[in-house]
Amino acid sequence: MDEDRFNMEVRKFLKKLGVTSQREIEEAVRKAVEGGALKGDETLTAKAVVTVSGVDLEFTVDGDIALQ
């Protein structure tokens, strides 16, 4: 295994995950605030589940997102 290439591929995936997740979360929250489903001062609970095929890996990352 080429450790350098592997490291770069993991980093590329994580960057894509981060950028895409941020965009989706921001869009959903804005729509919810505009539509009245959220007031804009809540703290939201978030959870991401990552799985990798080919290896026995599944993990969850939990956290809070404060809107104010």
Q: Rounded mean pLDDT of 46-68?
A: 97
As a residue count, the chain comes to 68
All structural domains of the chain with their residue ranges: 3-66
pLDDT confidence tier of residue 63, bands split at 50, 70 and 90:
very high
pLDDT tens by residue, 8-55: 999 999 999 999 999 999 999 999 999 999 999 999 999 999 999 999
pTM strictly above 0.75: yes
Confidence at residue 40, expressed as pLDDT on a 0 to 100 scale: 97
Name the helix (H) or strand (E) containing 40.
none
CA gap 17, 5 in Å, rounded: 18
Confidence at residue 9, expressed as pLDDT on a 0 to 100 scale: 98
